[in-house]
Structure 1
Amino acid sequence: MGSNSAPASNRRGPIGQLGEQMAAAHCEKLGWVVLERNWRNRYGELDIIAADGAKLVVVEVKTRSTDKFSDAAQAVTPAKLARMRRLTRMWLAAQERHWSGIRFDVIAVHLNLSAPPGGQLVDLRHHRGVYA
């Protein structure tokens, strides 16, 4: 019980938030307008809802700080994508604006917490159109 390292569950929140901040900044660098972050209802949560011109883009952000998985996007299962689609319909039902199209993306953020000085701290991979 005298361990100095935080349990994985205590690190997940801040690591996930950092990944979502990086993903939102990435979207803004692309010229997108981030409409919502962490939109939620009792059925789930959408990480980022953004406008890419007249197209709506719903982004699932997966952040990892370990090499256990080759790409964090692999954690986005068909069930998760189906849930994103249902939640997007719910979000759209409350909107007045209409979109020319909707796209579902995944942004995978890998944090290299053990990178040497000057080494690459973040690897961000943007997977576009993962579910139509």
Structure 2
Amino acid sequence: MALALGRYGEDLAARRLAEAGMTVIARNWRSGRSGEIDILARDGDALVVCEVKTRRAGPFEHPMEALRPRKADRLRRLAECWLADHGGPPPGGVRIDLVGVLLPRRGAPVVEHARGVA
């Protein structure tokens, strides 16, 4: 169930990024045991490392509050691994974005995109 929820949230996030003019270049990219980048995208000449957090409405924290400093550090390390494997940093640099997906009990999902969160 949690995997399906996460995949659904990532699908919505990828769609939102594409609607914002970005090109999704990889999803669920893994670097050994270091972890996973949910979505990698290009925004002009910048590389965007995107963390996706999906939550059902309820007593849990809002998805936009879920990126802690430790996770941000891991995403930076993973971005360095990606760049080492793919020819170094692009001219526009690297940015870490967060997409939060909130699934209400009724109605359409709420998708929020925050740029440059870490």
Indicate whether the TM-score tops 0.5: yes
Q: Aligned with 2:59: secondary structure?
A: coil
| Cross-structure match for 2:51 | 60
**Structure 2: which amino acid aligns with 1:126?**
H
Unaligned 5+ segments in structure 1 are: 1-10
Note the 1:1-132 alignment, pairs <5 A: 11-41=1-31, 42-96=33-87, 98-99=89-90, 100-112=92-104, 114-115=105-106, 120-131=107-118
Cα shift at 1:97? 5.9
Work out the CA distance in 1 between the residues paired with 2:96 and 2:60: 21
Encode CA deviations 1:58-99: one digit per residue, 9 max, x unaligned. 100000013223521211110000000000000100112641
Q: In angstroms, what is the RMSD of aligned CA positions?
A: 1.3
Cα shift at 1:29? 0.8
Work out the CA distance in 2 between the residues paired with 1:122 and 1:66: 10
Higher-Rg member (1/2): 1
Work out the CA distance in 2 between the residues paired with 1:121 and 1:68: 19
Encode CA deviations 1:9-38: one digit per residue, 9 max, x unaligned. xx2110000000000011111111101100
Q: Aligned with 1:129: secondary structure?
A: coil
Work out the CA distance in 1 between the residues paired with 2:83 and 2:34: 15
**Structure 1: which amino acid aligns with 2:109?**
V
Work out the CA distance in 1 between the residues paired with 2:59 and 2:65: 11
Identify the structure with bigger relative contact order (alpha carbons < 8 Å, sequence gap 6+): 2
Work out the CA distance in 1 between the residues paired with 2:59 and 2:67: 15
